[in-house]
Amino acid sequence: MAEVVRVAIRSDADIVMVRQQARVLAKELGFSASDLTLIATALSELARNIVDYAGQGEIILSLINQGGHRGLVIIARDNGPGITDIERAMQDGYSTGKGLGMGLPGTRRLMDEFEISSGMGQGTTVKVTKWAR
């Protein structure tokens, strides 16, 4: 069983693909049905942001084990335009598109850990983790 999977994200169809891959990986860790849905939803948000704002990018899913603590790490990265004001982008309801502006802040609430690095012209990388209980 592979512990790492990379999925290229270029269209809505890839969003489905990456969710399925994540489901397979996450099942290994014995996540509950609710956790699987929370993970899939977060993944959807991150993948959609790639498609909507960067055009294309990739998502890397990894199983990790930190001192017996097991979890799923999702890294969503793109070389798109980047986010100028991360603080604003992390606020509920802030969207430069026609979105609800809940994707990034929502993802933070859906997952256990959340890190974002981005800058104008530097692309965007979001790393989130869900720990198995």
Stretch that binds Mg ion, among 18-26, 46-54, 65-73, 85-93 (CB under 5 A): 46-54
Least distance in angstroms from the C-beta of 65 to other proteins: 25
Least distance in angstroms from the C-beta of 52 to ligand ADP: 6
d(CA 78, CA 116): 12
44 binds ligand ADP (CB under 6 A): no
* Residues forming the site for other proteins (CB under 8 A): 8, 10-13, 15-16, 19, 33-34, 36-38, 40-41, 44-45, 48, 55-56, 79, 92, 99-100, 102-103, 105-107, 109-110
d(CA 26, CA 63): 8
* 3-class SS of residue 30: coil
Q: For residues 118 and 82, is the Cβ–Cβ distance under 8 A?
A: yes
* Ordered alpha helix ranges (H), 1-133: 12-28, 33-49, 86-89, 103-110
49 binds Mg ion (CB under 5 A): yes
